[in-house]
Chain A
Amino acid sequence: MLDLSPQQDELRELQRRLTILKIGLLLVIVLLAFRLWHLQVREGQYYRDLSENNRTRSVILEPARGLIYDRNGVLLANNVPSFNLYVTLEDVTDRERLIKRLVGLIGLDEARLRKRLSERGAKLLPRKLKGGLTLREAALIESHRLDLPGVMVQAESQRNYPARLTASHLLGYVGEVSGDQLEKPEFGDLHQGSIVGQYGVEHTYDRFLRGRAGQKVIEADALGHEKRTVEVQKPEAGDDLYLTIDLRLQKLAEDLLGEEAGAIVAMDPATGEVLALASRPAFDPNVLSRELTPKQWEEIVQDEGHPLTNRATQGQYPPGSTFKIVMAVAALETNTIDPTTTIRCVGSYPFGRRLYKDWKEGGHGTMVLSQAIIDSCDVFFYTIGQRMGIEAIASYANQFGLGRETGIELPSERLGIVPSPAWKEKARNEPWLPGETISASIGQGYLTVTPLQMTNLIATVGNNGVSFRPRLIRAVMERATGRLQELPHVARDRLAIKPETLALIQHALAGVVTEGTARRAKSSLVTIAGKTGTAQTVAARPGPEQDLPKKLRDHAWFISYAPTVAPRIAVTVLVEHMGHGGSAAAPLAKQLIETFIKLTPHEPVIAESGSPVGSPMTVMVQQGPHD
């Protein structure tokens, strides 16, 4: 049966040789088993100890945050070295002792420390206990390190704002990422203790500024202190931002406000670039970017002056007579009146059972629309408001961007209120009262706006009906590529308003400064057009204005642009509780505009002699050249 051919013979021989392979493999497997027995049984305890005290630790290397500059390259935010305190729980032998030592050595808040130590998180990853240690504190910790297992001081960077209170609302501040933030996807690459922008541009452009964290694997000694670096992955710095702000104008705007609460906004009407955005009172972002005690935080939040509120974008005020611009446009566009329609002002306007007063006792007499704007006659606007009705008023207010976001790159912009019967029904569940239309006609009542919205409005008027999205960022410097990326201007709207209407309004606004309520804004350097406003804070007042406690006094408004032809700057001034716009706000705007003109004297700014006001014909075609 068996075929004993030579081939079969050879096969048998070959198969015998398989034994070499067999014995070889068997031998090696036995060798492996012996080696593993040695590792696991003979030296098992040793390795078990090693594994239980595994001494490699991973330390996160924080990236340097991107820098922030003004439009001219002046530094607004940078980073300075700072000492931060970390602990690795795995290496802490006695938690109570650690708490006692740290409280004793550098006076950490005990409750806070306890909370921090009991937070969830990896035991092997260092957690930050305190940032911004003083050199003395850092030295104290370092000299007691034998006494503080698991504790380490890491030199990292601390956000610094060299201009301190200047532009604080705009820049914002940074702080540790909160637990709620960490849950969100946009903070996915962050970790407990990461620094993120919490307010202002720091917040809105955090994704640029943040950078990317690196990592360092270290071998720790028995006390958890670094003995040797095993592996380093370098952090990547964030991108730098160039703002549209001119720090010189920003500082001036803030100085002009001085101790008063209020806001000043300056913008380039032809691009929407914000040149200054001041809000007072301010805060020091250097303080807020460090770790605050709950008490410090409470003090800031409960400050009566609300320093954290950015009054330019979050302050909502009745626009007062500045709203008459919207009224005038609406009246002409709806053909309620024409430029020659006359209305007689006798100092008050009776409606229903009430008498609505003009600010000028005895009245302004008979006048046409442009004169009514120049003199800010209330009765004229009561009358046309009554004729148009609230729906038409609300519709034009909305067209001018009131009641909605301007879209500026700052967090929590407020919308203000453009009241209408539908709004009142929804918000208050009450019907609209005819008298409320009268109040709205002079920018009182439910109507509220933000200073930024009004800046946008006056810029649109000066720019012949074209509005831009207000913007704060000029360019981003990409660290990775070294390229400066300029961001394009975004035209938002072109208002559907007849050029004649705008021309008439522009003419009248120039008259406001040359002969009307804002004569104190008249400049010998540049032609200015604008509108004053005085916003009542309370409807019924017990006595004369000057006798009122300050917090009940009126807010002063002035909104303006300059030059009157091809405007290069639009300025809004709002000063809280300072009374009349003409006296309290207009002079500030004038100073700011003059300074701007002096700083950037690129083109002739005084119109031809004779008529300082741009004639309707010359304003037809204009595209403001700007720097």
Chain B
Amino acid sequence: MIDRVISSRGPDSFEWRFVAIIGAILSLGLLSIYSVTHAQPGGGLPLYARQMLWVVMGGAAFLVMLVFDYHKIARLSYLLYVIALVLLAVVLIVGKTSRGAQRWFPIGPFAFQPAEFAKVVLILVLASYYANSAREGWRQRVVLPGLIMAPGLLLILKQPDLGSGLSFLAIYVAMLLVVGVRSKALGILLLLALMLFPFAWEVMWGALHDYQRERILTFVNPAYDPGGKGYHGLQSRIAIGSGELLGKGLYGGTQSQLKFLPEGHTDFVFAVFAEEWGFLGVLLLLALFLGLIMLSMEIASRAKDVLGALLAAGVIAMIGFSMVINIGMTAGIFPIVGIPLPLMSYGGSAIVTTMAALGLLVNIKRRRLTLFY
């Protein structure tokens, strides 16, 4: 007993393995961003330096989320969610428009993406909802949390940001699964989904921008290729495939260096990495992500209460979903929807919120033993 209390304050409580894996993934991301952007001309701070700045800020967010008891943070969740909804609404009016989507608040040379922030807040709000409700019946389990999620989802789809919208849905569904749905509730949900699908599809499809529709159509039918939108996917596959077993070496990726590959530092950072590091590098990266997920799972399954377990499950769902969809789309098994690779893609909002979410995980792990004080 005494041993365990001491150990809760020792290295194990901070979880150095966890931090080491995060650090390793961040470093690989920074290297890839440096590789594609170091030769780019342009004024101001180079992208890799900016990303470093974001990592430092992410580190701060990680520590902040770790220091305060997650129960206290969860108590603020509804307030935070309201703030997130307001930000999502305001960004539609005053936000920066880029390629037909209005997603960012410009802050000096940087841009803040409220959808990233909203994802973490959604985890908090759903976890506190489930922890504080009796979780009886499908209304309390499915419908109410669905109604909580809906305004955020709609605001995000309005931007439109298909990737973040899908992440929102994924977090909801994953947490629902963990909470457990009785077969009857699941049946009703499926039935409802089927009935609503044509309508929802109509709404969703109508809300999509031309470039998003084309991306999806291109994926469904590669022969449908107006203006060569399948180009991105093809270039990405060429980049990954041409890395072969051992890769072309750091800075040696011809696809990315010669600018065949668009968005090499953001959505397609994995393709840059795969081209330069080869399949062995890819295995290493997948192992790191797998390690991160397994450690997180351990935290979730050892959490001392429902709130902790659900929070951990939400974070796992968010990171796992983004990772799988991102790598899947660069490798050509999913349509290109624009989801960043967690901890690797360039982007301040995503880095800071992802690291804040990971801080929350360590927080859950640290508090699990205080039960015995």
A residues contacting B by CB (< 8 A) are 1, 7, 10-11, 13-15, 17-18, 20-22, 25-26, 28-29, 31-33, 35-37, 39-41, 43-48, 50-52, 54, 56, 124, 217, 219, 228, 230-231
Contact = CB atoms under 8 A, between A and B. Distances in A.
Contacts of B282: 33, 36, 40
Interface stretch (B145-153, B183-191, B324-332): B324-332
16 contacts: A11-B306, A14-B309, A15-B301, A21-B177, A21-B178, A25-B316, A39-B237, A40-B245, A43-B241, A44-B242, A44-B279, A54-B238, A54-B255, A124-B258, A231-B227, A231-B228
- Per DSSP, chain B at the interface is helix
B92 interface: no
B341 to A, nearest CB: 12
A25 B278 CA distance: 23
A54 B237 CA distance: 12
B317 interface: yes
Interface in B295-343: 297, 300-303, 305-306, 309-310, 313, 316-317, 320, 324, 327-328, 331-333
B180 interface: yes
A44 B306 contact: no
A374 to B, nearest CB: 66
A30 to B, nearest CB: 9
A44 B244 contact: yes
B276 to A, nearest CB: 12
A40 B274 contact: yes
Among all A-B residue pairs, the 9 with the closest Cβ atoms: A47-B241, A44-B244, A51-B242, A230-B228, A40-B279, A48-B242, A39-B241, A47-B242, A15-B301
Contacts of A124: 258
B240 A39 contact: yes
Contact of B254 (A10, A45, A51): A51
B313 A35 contact: no
B178 A18 contact: yes
B290 A11 contact: no
Nearest to A10: B306
Contacts of B227: 230-231
Contacts of A39: 237, 240-241, 331-332
Interface of B: 174, 177-180, 227-228, 231, 235, 237-245, 254-255, 258, 260, 274-275, 278-279, 282-283, 286, 289-290, 293-294, 297, 300-303, 305-306, 309-310, 313, 316-317, 320, 324, 327-328, 331-333, 372
B178 A47 contact: no
A35 B306 contact: no
Contacts of A52: 242, 254
A41 B244 contact: yes
B279 A36 contact: yes
A32 B306 contact: no
A44 B241 contact: yes
A405 B290 CA distance: 75
Contact of B297 (A18, A56, A217): A18
Contacts of A56: 231, 235, 260
Nearest to B135: A10
Given A43-B241, A46-B241, A21 B316 contact: yes
Given A28-B324, A36-B286, A44-B244, 10 more contacts: A7-B305, A11-B303, A11-B306, A15-B302, A32-B286, A35-B333, A39-B237, A44-B242, A47-B241, A50-B242
**Which of A14, A25, A39, A40 has the largest number of chain B CB atoms within 10 A?**
A40
A219 B230 CA distance: 13
Contact of B324 (A18, A22, A32, A47): A32
B327 A32 contact: yes
Given A32-B328, A33-B283, A41-B279, A17 B244 contact: no
A41 B372 CA distance: 52
A40 B283 CA distance: 11
Nearest to A40: B279
A40 B240 contact: yes
Contacts of A51: 238-239, 241-242, 254-255, 260, 275
**Which of B241, B305, B310, B324 has the largest number of chain A CB atoms within 10 A?**
B241
Given A17-B178, A36-B282, A25 B242 contact: no
B127 to A, nearest CB: 11
A45 B331 contact: no
A51 B234 CA distance: 10
A219 B177 contact: no
A36 B178 contact: no
Contacts of B241: 39-40, 43-44, 46-48, 50-51
B309 A11 contact: yes
A33 B245 CA distance: 13
A25 B293 contact: yes
Given A11-B309, A54-B258, A29 B290 contact: yes
A14 B180 contact: yes
Given A11-B305, A18-B309, A44 B245 contact: yes
Contact of A29 (B231, B245, B289, B303): B289
A126 to B, nearest CB: 15
Nearest to A218: B228
B260 to A, nearest CB: 5
A15 B303 contact: yes
B297 A22 contact: yes
A51 B228 CA distance: 17
A33 B283 CA distance: 7
Contact of A18 (B235, B301, B333): B301
Nearest to A20: B177
A40 B324 contact: no
Contacts of B174: 21
A10 B240 CA distance: 45
A20 to B, nearest CB: 6
Contacts of B289: 29
A219 to B, nearest CB: 7
Contacts of B372: 1
Contacts of B254: 51-52, 54
A238 to B, nearest CB: 25
A44 B246 CA distance: 10
Contacts of A11: 303, 305-306, 309
Nearest to B255: A51
Contacts of B243: 40, 44
Contacts of B293: 22, 25, 29
A21 B289 CA distance: 15
B324 A25 contact: yes
Contacts of A217: 228
